[in-house]
Amino acid sequence: SSPIVSGDKVFVTCYSGYGMKPPTNDDDPAKLVRHLLAFDRASGRQLWEVKVPSAEKEDPFAGFIMQHGYASSTPTTDGKRVYAFFGKSGLFAFDMDGNELWRRSLGTKSDPARWGGGASPVLYKNLVLVNAGVVGNQLVAVDSASGEIAWSIEDGAFTNCWTTPAIINTENGEQAIFAVPGKMIAVEPLTGTKVWEAATQIDDATCGSIVHREGIAYLMGSREGHGLAVRCDGKGDVSDSSTIWSKQIRSGICTPVIVGESLYWTTGGMFMAARVEDGEYAYRVRLPRKGKASGGFMAADYSSPVAQGNRILLFTRFGESYVIEAGDEFEVVGQNPGFPDDETPFNATPAISDGEIFVRSDKRLYCIAED
């Protein structure tokens, strides 16, 4: 998962017991344990750790799971409770001292390819919204205080979807928007009542999450590479009436970031910018490397870019980092070759908080700041 920051604490998830590298012949999925850890923000000292043993038959450690593991969903917090989605073991709530408050199973299924979980929970008022398509073929809202299901939309077609829902403020009120293969779905977040849906050409798997600006939702993904922009002010099937643009566009696993009038993202060692207005590329360039060469599974796909002002921060899977000035021309204003004593993957999106950058690898959690 990516790190999150709340007050004087930093939270991350990880796992142990199974799915370690390199695999061994006596690996047993029943030994899988997921962990939620809290660290002191100032010193990095571990404050507490919660261990959650696997409750169900886990997907085997093979294929894409070997690239991201069994604790890929980023936790979230309202400052009173921390919520962690641990796949087939369920959605959990803990207090700020690590005491379990409740747990709720959201399903024990697998996606057809057995790629594991990745969607993260988000908060809306008193609800925790989860895309549980992979484990439960459902989009669900859980009461944050009690753990009871507030509403659920179930559909057997809701699988192969690892996108985190987005909360969008529109002229017609707030909406929760989910992306599943072949469509975007907007619901009234308190009730789950469907507001609109729009067909997409991203019909094999949805990985990167929806981003939005000024009542317009943007999504990209699929093996073929597609992107689209949809106005969020419609009702019913808005595939034709509200789709602003839909076109083939190179994309991967990460979620793009919007800065100014452009979307920025990375895939396959490339960094790209496209105008929000029409989806046309501003540029496509190969990232300059000071560390290892890019390409294949180890390309800079998993970590998503984030922005601070007009500058974009990006980490590759090798820990190499870039600060890129947003604009119509590609401009690197800062580059770091990585962490010499850390060869493990940097899959997590960094968190920026009060002038500090928090980023984690499979091995360590880092805080980066000026002296």
Rounded Cα distance, 139 and 192, in Å: 9
Give the pLDDT score at 300: 47
- 101-115, 289-303, 355-369: the lowest-pLDDT one: 289-303
Rounded Cα distance, 187 and 349, in Å: 27
Q: What single-letter amino acid sits at 1?
A: S
Give the pLDDT score at 12: 98
Q: How confident is the model at residue 371 (pLDDT cuts 50, 70, 90)?
A: confident
Q: How confident is the model at residue 154 (pLDDT cuts 50, 70, 90)?
A: very high
Q: How confident is the model at residue 258 (pLDDT cuts 50, 70, 90)?
A: very high
Q: What is the mean pLDDT of residues 135-141?
A: 98
pLDDT tens per residue across span 83-136: 999 999 999 999 999 999 999 999 999 999 899 999 999 999 999 999 999 999
Rounded Cα distance, 306 and 318, in Å: 17
Nearest C-alpha neighbor of 113 from the set 181, 191, 179, 36: 181
Q: What is the mean pLDDT of residues 73-85?
A: 98
- The contacts of residue 22 (CB under 8 Å, 6+ apart) are none
Q: How confident is the model at residue 165 (pLDDT cuts 50, 70, 90)?
A: very high
Using the predicted structure, report yes or no on whether residue 27 has a pLDDT greater than 90: no
Nearest C-alpha neighbor of 114 from the set 91, 89, 135, 139: 135
Residues in the chain: 371
Rounded Cα distance, 300 and 30, in Å: 32
Cα atoms found within 13 Å of the Cα of residue 351, Cβ hemisphere only: 22
Give the pLDDT score at 293: 59
Give the pLDDT score at 93: 98
Are 349 and 303 in contact by the 8 Å Cβ rule? The answer is yes
Give the pLDDT score at 291: 66
Any idea what the Cα angle at residue 299 is, between residues 63 and 221, rounded to 5°? 75
